[in-house]
Amino acid sequence: MNSSAAGIVGVSGYAGMELARILARHPGFRLTAAISDKWAGRALGDVLPIAGTAAAVRCEGQAAAATSFAGLDVVFLCTPPEVSIALAAPALAAGARVVDLSGGFRLPLGSYPRWYGFTHPSPELLARAVYVMPEATENRAALRDAALVSNPGCYPTASVLALLPLLKADVIEPAGLIIDAKSGTTGAGRKGTEDFSFSELEGDFRAYRVLKHQHTPEIERVLQVAGVGGAPVTFTAHLLPTRRGILATAYGRLRPGKTAADATAAVRAFVESKPFLRAAAPDAVRLQAVVGTNRAVLGADADPERSIAIGFCAIDNLVKGAAGQAVQNANLMFGWDETAGLDSLSGHMP
């Protein structure tokens, strides 16, 4: 496998740190550039538990980002949406391909004022962006020629994977879907505020951004692209007092004549030939089964008497929900096996 030079902007954030961990051991990517104001002047090996040539890469400040893109084959943007939008153009101009982990290129142009609070400043770039959730959208082949890839969000990944097997198999109705999802605190980013201090979080549990979470329209868009959506979904995010992982529980109206066996069969059929997906009983869909890995564990059940079906999905929000899926997409962009650099990631139980 010929190696390709990779750079990370925002390497000191949680997703950036996870990317560095994965790329440092990747058989096809060479991590040669790292951008972080926080770590500027420091070698990655001094601030992250990584080894090899990546450990010697010295971080540069964000002001030098544009000049650091020269010679890179791919740039991963682990930055806020506005920053990603601003940096995508110079990265592309330098000849690099871009995988953006922010929400900067995930929604239609008109959705940004409502859901992100700004008017998108680069509609031409937004039109070029290719959004791919490898196990959910049908446009994986578009990655081979894509210059700018929008990586899915963590909550949409877990939510869509919880619903899609049941929708694809016509087990549930597409209207009236409800998603209840819980995430560890790393999903909020690496920032120090009172709300995210240990004393505020430990022993607590709460919903946030109720009925205005920016991942709601992304979930709706992915389901529509997958050919099973079109109706609004109700999505509620919750903050768990744990570091990482997402558990999404999705509720749908059971179609007449469908059973619990149909729900189980739908999940087992959906995960077949998808290397990172696993089927499990609902009570085995848990964070410990996925944290530290690029896996998603799925389950489902149904009650015909109450006409309800429930889908479950657990992922690591920093891996399958961010850095791991970004590498999975990059593998497909460069024509490598999608599992490259990801199949050796391991978690721990308990």
Q: Are 81 and 45 in contact (CB under 8 A)?
A: no
Distance CA 267, CA 45 (A): 41
Q: What's the Cα-to-Cα distance from 153 to each of 231, 270, 276, 284, 318, rounded to whole Å?
A: 20, 21, 17, 24, 10
Active site residues per annotation: 154
Please spell the DSSP secondary structure of 77-126, one letter per residue.
E-S-HHHHHHHHHHHHHTT-EEEE-SSTTSS-GGGHHHHTSS--S-HHHH
Cis peptide preceding 174, ω within 30 of 0: no
Encoded tokens for 53: 């040539």
Q: Are 153 and 103 in contact (CB under 8 A)?
A: yes
| 3-class state of residue 215 by DSSP | helix
CA 214 from centre of chain = 14
| 3-class state of residue 206 by DSSP | strand
